[in-house]
Amino acid sequence: MLVHPVPANATYDFASDVRTGLSRGDQKELPSKYLYDNVGSALFEVISHLPEYGLTRADERLLRRHADDIVDRIPGPVAVTELGSGSGKKTRWLLEALCRRQHTSYYPVEISRSALAMCERELRDIDSISILGFETEYLDGLLRVAAYRKPGQHLLVLFLGSTIGNFDRPAGVQFLGEVRRILDPGDSLLLGTDLEKSTAQLLAAYNDELGVTAAFNLNLLSRINRELEGNFEVSQFAHVARINQQARSIEMHLRSRRRQQVTIPAAEIEVELEENETIWTESSHKYRLPEIGDIARHAGFQCMAQWIDDEWPFAENLLVAQ
Ligand code: AVI
């Protein structure tokens, strides 16, 4: 697989986002996209196998069971791009179904180099596939993929795993609108969305008994130490999963176990944390089925079909650009 490299200013963006997020006087925060360096991506892969976290398996089950039905609804010829491919494992079923119909170009877009490499290893044995990875952010990758479009070729965008849930609701609609603007009418978007479930189920999923999600969250501090010369004492922070009823989301925070001061030279910042003060690192929004059609319409799509898992409330939604 050929890989288009990450833009040269990636470290600078990380430093400046860390400076902005940790300088806030009210709620300190760090963008969740930085959870996924090589260590974070590997930990997320482990999370997807945990008994408490059914989201990835539901996504995979739906794609495996309904791959032919999904592919039948997509006009050809079509090229496929996936925003945040991860290991690519769950995408195999769709790609195999498509490759039985036509030779398929698959363009995974990922900010994690190791996840892209894993994705290529996972999928390269499929007959009639060519893979070209883009190591960059979603919209930049999608723009580059759109430039590869051949005359008459449709585009199928995969945005699986409920990554949309990691945007707050207005930002999610805005993001889908930006995706729509890059697409042509008739192009498709397969959107995975985690549905509402009980508080107990959510708290267990985001605070598993083995502590893998805690390690995934705390790794963000270690990453700042590794890449920005920070001096976080990781053991002085605790992982917290917290329900936000109003936002219909579950949040991850890092709680400072004591009053402390942290220096991050490459971000040119000194941070003071009070005892029990938290750094907000992720929100994971949950959806009601009917609201997905509304979100789609606001972003310029029509929701043509939905597939719902029978074990873990999760939906695959096929949206068509209007
Ligand atoms: C990638 N994303 C959809 C996951 C989620 O469930 O929000 C990330 C995650 N965070 C904690 N566990 C998994």
- Which residue's CA is the nearest one to ligand 1's atom 5? 284
- Which residue's CA is the nearest one to ligand 1's atom 7? 284
Centre of ligand 1 from the C-alpha of residue 126, in Å: 28
Number of other CB atoms surrounding residue 158 within 10 Å: 25
Centre of ligand 1 from the C-alpha of residue 101, in Å: 33
Per-residue 3-state assignment (H helix, E strand, C coil) for 151-162:
CCCEEEEEECCC
- Overall residue count recorded for the chain in this entry: 322
Ligand 1 atom closest to the Cα of residue 282 is: 10
Least confident of 7-16, 85-94, 151-160, 172-181: 7-16
Number of other CB atoms surrounding residue 244 within 10 Å: 12
Ligand 1 atom closest to the Cα of residue 161 is: 3
Under 8 Å between Cβ of 63 and 90: yes
3-state DSSP call for residue 210? coil
pLDDT in tens, 207-249: 999 999 999 999 999 999 999 999 999 999 999 999 999 999 9
Long-range contacts of 46-52 (CB under 8 A, 24+ apart): 46/212, 47/208, 47/212, 47/213, 47/216, 50/208, 50/210, 50/212, 50/213, 52/204, 52/205, 52/208, 52/209
Residues with CB under 6 A from ligand 1: 47, 55, 161-163, 165-166, 206, 213, 282, 284
The token pair that represents 285 in the structure block: 């929004």
Centre of ligand 1 from the C-alpha of residue 252, in Å: 10
**Strands 278-285 and 269-273, sheet pairing:** unpaired
The token pair that represents 275 in the structure block: 């005892």
Angle, CA 130 vertex, CA 115 and CA 186 arms, to 5°: 95
Under 8 Å between Cβ of 126 and 95: yes
Centre of ligand 1 from the C-alpha of residue 96, in Å: 26
pTM of the model: 0.94
Measured in whole angstroms, how far is the alpha carbon of residue 177 from the centre of its chain? 17
Centre of ligand 1 from the C-alpha of residue 295, in Å: 20
pLDDT value at position 114?
82
Predicted confidence band at 8 (pLDDT cuts at 50, 70, 90)? very low
pLDDT in tens, 23-48: 999 999 999 999 999 899 899 999 99
Residue 200, C-beta contacts closer than 8 angstroms, at least 6 positions apart:
none
